[in-house]
Amino acid sequence: MKRTVAYIDGYNLFYGLLKGTSYKWLDPTRLVSALLRDDHELVSVKYFTSPVKTYPHDTSALDRQKIYIQALTTLPNVEVIQGFYRKDAVLMPVHEEECKTCPIAKNGFVKVVKLEEKRTDVNIASSMLLDAFNNNADAFVLVSGDTDFIAPVNIIRKDFKKTVIVFNPRETKSWLKDYASYYRDIPRNLPAECQLPDTIPYGKRGDRFIHCPDAWR
């Protein structure tokens, strides 16, 4: 059996596969296990994310994320590693020509709120490389379509002689396909089969409960 560790890019997974669906209450261990062959032993799942910044139209997004992260911490062998978001007001060029005459536009630019996730890519790459260096796994699963991971995928495969598997959550192909030992686009219908229980007991005595947010049902 191949000792296997999965590294999940939470932002990439959410916006590539889950956003706009009713399957956000995802069990990442079940998802990865459903995609792996039987000769892999999934010994650890590392889920990388950042606390979201809320928009005025959705002020409860952070609360839902906190509930989800709490649910993930109840799963065996799952570790949640967090970065952070920056939220800035920046000037961006308008997309449509007619928007240039909008009252809020100035010289073809409009001020918008820009969210930028920080540190997650570095955390993933560092964790993968450290595990490869310490020989903590035989196979490395990356759940992401982000081409920023080409370098660590290439190093782990060629220099450390490890198997690197990429499961891409996006609808479009990723260039990671050219560097991984094995590559697969995640089937769009798979998350429906890999959901957490609606109610999850937690705490030392198991007498407290985590519930799937109503907005995700």
CB of 85 closer than 8 Å to CB of 116? yes
* Confidence category of residue 179, pLDDT binned at 50, 70, 90: very high
pTM, full prediction: 0.84
Q: How many residues does the chain have?
A: 217
Name the DSSP letter for residue 101.
G
Percent pLDDT > 90 in the chain is 72
Instruction: Give me the residues paired with residue 118 across strands.
Output: 84
Domains of the chain: 2-83+119-216 (3.40.50.1010), 86-116 (no CATH)
pLDDT tens per residue, range 119-163: 689 999 999 999 999 999 999 999 999 999 999 999 999 999 999
Count other C-beta atoms under 10 Å from residue 10's C-beta.
27
Give residue-wise pLDDT tens across range 85-103: 555 555 666 555 555 556 5
Provide DSSP, 133-196. Answer: HTT--SEEEEE---GGGHHHHHHHHHTS--EEEEEE-SSS--GGGGTSSEEEEPPTTGGGGSBP
Contacts of residues 63-66 at CB distance under 8 Å and 24 or more positions apart, as own/partner, are: 63/213, 64/213, 64/215, 64/216
